[in-house]
């Protein structure tokens, strides 16, 4: 699945009658594994109320059967010792939608069932799982989908006031922590990961104030803006996003650049997320408009294949992917901004 597929228009909800019928016949479906936990103590009492884009959701008791209809929230759950009964595939086709950086947190627990989102939320399959909590923060849930899913279980949708697919990893971790009764643990997870980011930032003063941008090859050139987790990752390390980027992306997490704005790509470091490393890199660098930019002539561009681990971690931006990403991407960023065009920016290991 291409990364841009997350910009799809989610499908209309399944009729309520069908939904109730599926829920009623759940006994005829093979019983899915219950969610597992690490046995960590509950940090906050229930019920808890959580605001979202469509209202306020109340979680009455500690959830045991969590279904993730967002694209990355399984990592936040696993970081807290909670295993969902189902996840939603974004890209990569990993068993359980669990990438290698999250396998240690999963441990010996059964991998979740995997749902798809190509044609919208699979409401019937969600109903058959008999969830007691549905999480879709990193998503584009519609009001109709939210209302339908809320007939099954409490739903944590996108935060209000934020763009779809724009929620930060910190907000996801803290909100998920509150929903599962582990707020104190969530704060420790956030503090630990933020400490790693801050350490990389402090160790690399050359990042401070340098311009950075993430882009992909989709209908020309597509750039990720200041409301996208990928853009915020760069600013967390001290980079500045290009002037005018917010106006280009507007109320979305990203946008296509017109040919007249190709100059916006001419940053101190430019990270390309591509489907095929060799093919897409050659195509970008052969573009006459791009070929004359200093970011290309001075070797300041980095190419990451989406389904390789570093590329995948760059799009996930979760408490479990970030430590891996910092380890793998930091040397590439250093090579890109060292001021020496002769320094090669190597392709990371798959």
End-to-end CA distance of the chain: 18
pLDDT confidence of residue 34? 42
Residues 156 and 288 grouped into a single domain: no
For residue 350, tell me if it sits in a domain: no
Q: Are residues 36 and 155 in the same domain?
A: yes
Among 193, 213, 228, the domain-final residue is 193
Is residue 348 assigned to a domain? no
The confidence score (pLDDT) of residue 300 equals 96
Q: In the prediction, which pLDDT does 337 show?
A: 96
Per-residue pLDDT at 259 = 86
Say if residues 14 and 123 touch (Cβ distance below 8 Å).
Answer: yes
**The predicted structure's pLDDT at residue 324:** 98
One domain, residues 20 and 163: yes
CATH number for 299: 3.40.50.1980
Domain boundary, last residue among 193, 222, 242: 193
Q: What is the pLDDT of residue 219?
A: 86
Residue 341 lies in a domain: no
For residue 56, the tally of other CB atoms under 10 A from its CB is 9
Q: Tell me, yes or no, if the pTM score tops 0.85.
A: yes
Count how many domains the chain has.
2
Is 349 a member of any domain?
Answer: no
172, 193, 214 - which closes a domain: 193
Mean pLDDT by 10 residues, the chain (350 residues): 38 33 36 46 81 98 98 98 98 97 98 94 98 98 98 98 97 98 98 98 98 94 97 98 96 93 96 96 95 96 97 98 98 95 88
Domain that holds residue 330: 204-336
Q: Are residues 151 and 21 in the same domain?
A: yes
Alpha helices in 259-320 (DSSP H): 277-286, 288-291, 294-297, 309-316
231 domain-assigned: yes
């Amino acid at each position: 699945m291409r990364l841009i597929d997350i910009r799809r228009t989610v499908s209309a909800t399944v009729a309520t009658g069908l939904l109730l019928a599926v829920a009623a016949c759940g006994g005829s479906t093979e019983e899915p594994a219950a969610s597992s936990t690490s046995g960590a103590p509950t940090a906050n009492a229930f019920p808890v109320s959580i605001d979202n884009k469509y209202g306020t959701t109340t979680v009455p008791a500690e959830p045991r059967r969590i279904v993730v209809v967002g694209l990355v929230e399984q990592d936040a759950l696993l970081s807290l010792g909670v295993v969902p009964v189902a996840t939603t595939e974004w890209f990569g086709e990993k068993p359980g939608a669990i990438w290698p950086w999250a396998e240690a947190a999963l441990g010996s627990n059964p991998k979740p069932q995997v749902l798809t989102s190509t044609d919208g939320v699979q409401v019937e399959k969600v109903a058959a799982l008999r969830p007691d909590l549905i999480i879709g923060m990193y998503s584009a849930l519609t009001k109709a989908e939210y209302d339908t899913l809320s007939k099954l279980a409490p739903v944590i949708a996108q935060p209000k006031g934020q763009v779809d697919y724009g929620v930060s990893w910190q907000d996801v971790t803290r909100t998920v922590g509150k929903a599962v009764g582990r707020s104190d643990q969530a704060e420790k997870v956030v503090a630990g990961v933020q400490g790693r980011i801050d350490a990389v930032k402090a160790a690399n003063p050359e990042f401070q104030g340098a311009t950075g941008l993430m882009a992909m090859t989709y209908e020309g050139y597509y750039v990720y803006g200041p409301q996208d987790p990928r853009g915020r990752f760069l600013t967390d390390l001290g980079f500045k996003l290009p002037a005018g980027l917010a106006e280009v992306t507007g109320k979305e997490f990203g946008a296509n650049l017109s040919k007249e704005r190709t100059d916006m790509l001419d940053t101190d470091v430019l990270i390309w997320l591509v489907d095929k490393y060799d093919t897409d890199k050659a195509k970008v660098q052969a573009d006459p408009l791009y070929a004359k930019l200093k970011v290309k002539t001075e070797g300041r561009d980095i190419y990451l294949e989406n389904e390789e681990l570093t590329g995948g971690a760059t799009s996930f931006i979760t408490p479990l992917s970030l430590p891996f990403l910092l380890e793998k991407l930091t040397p590439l960023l250093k090579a890109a901004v060292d001021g020496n065009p002769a320094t090669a920016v190597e392709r990371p290991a798959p």
